Structure 1
Amino acid sequence: MRTDIHPEYRPVVFRDASANFSFLTRSTRTSDRTVAWDDGQEYPVIDIEVSSASHPFYTGRATVLDTAGRVEKFRRRYGMPSAPVAD
Structure 2
Amino acid sequence: MKKNVHPAYYPDAVVTCACGNTFTTGSTVKDIRVEICSACHPFYTGKQKFVDTAHRVDRFKRLQEKAQSFKKAKNSKRNKKSVEKTAIKPKTKK
**Structure with max Cα Rg:** 2
With normalisation by structure 2, the TM-score equals 0.43
Q: Which has the higher helix share?
A: 2
Q: Which has the higher strand share?
A: 1
With normalisation by structure 1, the TM-score equals 0.46
